[in-house]
Chain A
Amino acid sequence: MKTRVALLGTAAAIVMAPAMALADRERGSSGHLNIIYWQAVSTMNPYLSGGTKEMNAASVVLEPLARFDNLGELTPWLVDEIPTLDNGGVAEDLKSITWTLTEGLLWSDGSPVTSADVVFSYEYCTHPEGGCSYRDRFAGIDRVEAVDDLTVTVYFEDVTPNPYLPFVGAGSVIIQQEQFQDCLGARAPECTDANFAPIGTGPYVVSSFRPNDVIEFVANENYRVPTQPYFETITWAGGGDANGAARAVFQTGEMDYAWNLQLAPEVIEQMEAGGMGELLVDFGPLMERIELNFTDVSPDLPPDERGTRAHPHPILSDIRVREALSRAIDRELLTEIGFGPMGMATCNFIVAPPAMASPNNDNCLVQDIDRANELLDEAGWERGPDGIRVKDGERLELLFQTSTNAVRQDFQALIQADWREIGVETRLRNIDAGVFFGSDPGSNDTYLKFFADAQMYASLFEGTDPTPHLEQRRCGREPQPSTQWQGQNINRYCNEEYDELWAELNREPDPDRRQELVIALNDMFVQDYAHLPLVARGRVSAASTTVGGIVMNVWDSEHWNQAEWYRIEE
């Protein structure tokens, strides 16, 4: 498949881009850029939305103190250096971090950026009535204090080995106190003008905003790099569908950049033949997986015990059955059919950043029906007359649910066939995504309640630190009646060893040791077959061949270096 995978091209682009770029490019010299988001942007205030599309659009206006570059490395953004233990920015007791803003930073309206704005951003998002979507970025903070005009210290309630969550990344941006000071808490949605055209420090300023339709940006005159941004204006169109967006970049050339093209691989390949655009793919922590339920969800159980650890799953509690189910799946085939160049088969729970991905589990990549059959034989499941295995009069029958989505239904059918081959009967069910991923405790169809034996969905974590993601699988973190079915230990996994290892990770400040611990936790989890990883999914966008400087970034907004994009002159 002759697809240019940006992951590999990125390194080359970084090396080559500055050499070519420095010719005589200045602010606005590249003219106009057209971006299409087929899911239109609803607001420019990421704190009020939580959606990736809003975060991306806002990232060209609003910026954090530091962000992740395309390799997942922390990069100073509105500060001169990243505070660390070595330079004294992070306190010895790991309970505070002190950031110092770059001198001379200006908001787009010309006023200076001060530490008060940083403190205000914290207050805005943590207001109890505000419903801020990135509230968890500021969890565990005792207080945020301005030391002087440019210095701000974040005090944590507890020892925090990873203090780089607040004010880091596109979801944790600095907003202007003067603009938002009357918009705290319940009044946040009333400030429509501010929410639609926030004043920021980024390379662009909103010149007009139509919700769910189109945004127009012009270059920020007060941007800190005098020669940037290269594009004078941007039209950020929204609406249509993924097909239309891809067509506009690849075939008609009306658009320069299209976001999130989750299309069938053959459609992408055919459109790419138009030759006007290039597919950009990079892999982050997003992974499609099957969760296997450790609890009995039989409807005969009383409602407050159904799907809780009080009743272990009658079939899946046996690790041999879980392993057999994993071995029977042909992950390479699934990837090729469902995602093509936009996916990679995987056997890991933590698939990225590359340094944290375990090298120890690749044996699941090859389908092994014989081994799967052996395992089920060992476990005492014997083939019945119709080929389905039976043990103690009970058939090996599983209910497998997922959200309604063409690729997921293909996957379900293929996996059903794979499992059929080893004598497992699978009943399939698909549920509307809005219901499945909703968290209404009254609905029995959410992925949280998981009233099925197996379910498939994709999940990921924010930033480059998987600690909170690993934390979700601790005992007691499972959705249960006493927590109104809230919790992220979806498969109800419980392993004391795992919990102890996680506690160690949570105390460990040394990066190398942390990496080892992450890999150890990952291996423990997947080697328990608690969860069947399938495909690591890439972030997919498309760019016109006439636009240069784009560096795909899965760790932050795709538009993190928007100021450096330029038009390639013929």
Chain B
Amino acid sequence: MLSYTLRRLAFAIPTVLVISLIVFLMLDMAPGDPTGSLPLTIPLEVREQIRQSLGLGDPVMVRYFKWLYMMCFIEPMHILAGVTGWDIAPDGPRILSWQTRSPVGDILVQRVPQTLWVVGMGYLFGILIALPIGVISAYRQYSWFDQVGTFVSMIGFSVPTFFTGVVFILVFSVWLGWFPSMYDTTHNVTNWDSFLFQVRQIAMPVAVLALFNASQISRFMRASMLDNLNQDYVRTARAKGLGEKTVVLVHVLRNSMIPVVTVIAIGIPTVFTGAIITEQIFRVNGLGDALIRAIYVSDWPMVQTITFIFAILIVLFNLIADVLYGILDPRIRYD
């Protein structure tokens, strides 16, 4: 198992490198100009000087290797230095965002907590809601509970978050006035009142995302439970005289969780990539928001860096899902 994991890890490195090169070249070829979003009052000669000062004068491969070096060495060291307080940050140029002319790494460090809180909570609550619904729906297949559950998850699945988000804002902020419509990123939790405010401002985006995630995962859970409920070992367990509770919650649930756990693990990178639309609607300044805005203004260093991080996370969590599969299911061994 260990050697399998190591082998997979070693194989992941070239994969990620190839992804980074492809992303870099694609962005380089993409039409769009970082000075294209500036007001037309800025003359063209000045725009050309701005492009030069952004480093666009170098050949593409030079820029790629510069970026790769900074991405793989300088930025991690700076982040490590920031986290630990050690004085290990190397000197020299860092990856600079074209919009802010400041290091991309610093912006990402500011952005990650919001995304983890909001999107992470949305995912967590989604899972917590989905599992019981999936189990009960499968156990009482075609009951009213199953029908309602199916209906709600179909809605959650098919209605996009940019619609549910706006509906939530209209109902709960504009009409009822319960929750703020904008997320205040400067808010610090220091006491009970400020904690309550944090809960109120996080409630709506989390609810929107939880609904969406729960719909997906509950369908998986239900399907997986149904597969297992008809298996021979379940009949055997019942025949042995085991209680219905034990049969469902111990035997069937544990077996049904195997595919669901992998689905959940593979979905975790989406927590980091952020829910771009939801973040924008509720003005949560997370990674997804940073990405979409960088795309709008052709801020390629920012786009490259965020996409590269996503690529690493996706490759990594795919690996974790595979390993988890092996751990959970004794029938599967990779060696």
Chain A residues with CB under 8 Å of chain B are 36, 40, 42-43, 45, 48-52, 128-136, 186, 188-190, 192, 195-196, 208, 210-214, 216, 235, 237-241, 244, 247-248, 251-252, 254-255, 274, 432-440, 443, 445, 448, 457-462, 486-488
Assembly CA distance A462 to B280 (angstroms): 31
A252 touching B33 by the CB < 8 A rule?
Answer: no
Nearest CB in chain A: distance from B44 CB, A: 4
B33 touching A235 by the CB < 8 A rule?
Answer: no
CB neighbours of A208 from chain B (8 A):
186
Given contacts A131-B52, A252-B174, contact A435 B31 (CB under 8 A): yes
Nearest CB in chain B: distance from A247 CB, A: 6
**In-complex Cβ contact of B285 among A239, A435, A459 (8 A):** A239
CB interface residues, B 279-293, toward A, < 8 Å: 280-283, 285, 289-290, 293
30 intermolecular pairs with C-beta atoms under 8 Å apart: A42-B100, A43-B99, A50-B42, A129-B52, A131-B51, A131-B52, A131-B54, A133-B42, A186-B53, A210-B185, A211-B100, A212-B99, A213-B111, A213-B185, A214-B285, A237-B184, A239-B280, A240-B283, A244-B182, A247-B169, A247-B173, A252-B174, A255-B182, A274-B174, A434-B298, A438-B33, A439-B36, A440-B31, A460-B40, A460-B41
- Which residue of chain A is the closest to B298 with respect to CB atoms? A434
Number of B positions contacting A (CB below 8 A): 56
Assembly CA distance A146 to B103 (angstroms): 35
CB neighbours of A48 from chain B (8 A):
101
CB neighbours of A188 from chain B (8 A):
53, 101
Residue in A195, A274, A434, A457 with the greatest tally of chain B CB atoms within 10 Å:
A434
- Which residue of chain B is the closest to A211 with respect to CB atoms? B100
Q: Does B251 contact A (CB under 8 A)?
A: no
B280 touching A135 by the CB < 8 A rule?
Answer: no
CB neighbours of B186 from chain A (8 A):
208, 214, 216, 235
Residue in A128, A136, A189, A190 with the greatest tally of chain B CB atoms within 10 Å:
A189
- Which residue of chain A is the closest to B47 with respect to CB atoms? A439
Query: Which are the 3 A-B pairs with shortest beta-carbon distances?
Result: A131-B53, A438-B33, A438-B36
A435 touching B32 by the CB < 8 A rule?
Answer: yes
Nearest CB in chain B: distance from A217 CB, A: 12
B49 touching A131 by the CB < 8 A rule?
Answer: yes
Nearest CB in chain B: distance from A525 CB, A: 17
Assembly CA distance A52 to B41 (angstroms): 10
B36 touching A437 by the CB < 8 A rule?
Answer: yes
B43 touching A433 by the CB < 8 A rule?
Answer: no
Assembly CA distance A457 to B38 (angstroms): 14
Assembly CA distance A186 to B53 (angstroms): 7
- Which residue of chain A is the closest to B42 with respect to CB atoms? A50
A213 touching B40 by the CB < 8 A rule?
Answer: no
Chain B residues with CB under 8 Å of chain A are 31-33, 35-54, 93, 96-97, 99-103, 106-107, 110-111, 169, 173-174, 177, 180-182, 184-186, 280-283, 285, 289-290, 293, 296-298
CB neighbours of A134 from chain B (8 A):
42, 46
B110 touching A213 by the CB < 8 A rule?
Answer: yes
**In-complex Cβ contact of A213 among B43, B51, B280, B285 (8 A):** B285
Nearest CB in chain A: distance from B186 CB, A: 6
Given contacts A51-B37, A252-B177, A443-B31, contact A434 B297 (CB under 8 A): yes
Nearest CB in chain B: distance from A430 CB, A: 14
Nearest CB in chain A: distance from B278 CB, A: 12
Nearest CB in chain B: distance from A485 CB, A: 9
A438 touching B35 by the CB < 8 A rule?
Answer: yes
CB neighbours of B107 from chain A (8 A):
211-212
CB neighbours of B280 from chain A (8 A):
239-241
B43 touching A189 by the CB < 8 A rule?
Answer: no
**In-complex Cβ contact of A211 among B37, B93, B97 (8 A):** B97
CB neighbours of A195 from chain B (8 A):
101-102
Assembly CA distance A216 to B174 (angstroms): 26
CB neighbours of A436 from chain B (8 A):
36
CB neighbours of B285 from chain A (8 A):
40, 210, 212-214, 238-239
Assembly CA distance A556 to B36 (angstroms): 22
Given contacts A433-B36, A486-B45, contact A244 B50 (CB under 8 A): no
| Given contact pairs A40-B285, A237-B184, a sample of 12 additional A-B residue pairs in the complex whose CB atoms are under 8 Å apart | A36-B182, A43-B102, A48-B101, A188-B53, A189-B101, A212-B285, A213-B110, A241-B280, A254-B181, A433-B36, A437-B33, A487-B44
CB neighbours of B185 from chain A (8 A):
210, 213-214, 237
CB neighbours of A448 from chain B (8 A):
44
CB neighbours of B32 from chain A (8 A):
432, 434-435, 438
Assembly CA distance A135 to B289 (angstroms): 31
**In-complex Cβ contact of B33 among A131, A212, A274, A435 (8 A):** A435
Assembly CA distance A208 to B188 (angstroms): 14
CB neighbours of B97 from chain A (8 A):
42, 211
Assembly CA distance A240 to B279 (angstroms): 8
CB neighbours of B93 from chain A (8 A):
190
CB neighbours of A486 from chain B (8 A):
44-45, 48
Nearest CB in chain A: distance from B189 CB, A: 17
Nearest CB in chain B: distance from A131 CB, A: 3
Nearest CB in chain A: distance from B333 CB, A: 48
Nearest CB in chain B: distance from A452 CB, A: 16
**In-complex Cβ contact of A239 among B41, B52, B101, B289 (8 A):** B289
B33 touching A133 by the CB < 8 A rule?
Answer: no
- Which residue of chain B is the closest to A251 with respect to CB atoms? B174
Nearest CB in chain A: distance from B311 CB, A: 22
Nearest CB in chain B: distance from A260 CB, A: 12
Assembly CA distance A461 to B38 (angstroms): 13
B102 touching A189 by the CB < 8 A rule?
Answer: yes
Given contacts A434-B36, A438-B36, contact A462 B41 (CB under 8 A): yes
- Which residue of chain B is the closest to A243 with respect to CB atoms? B166
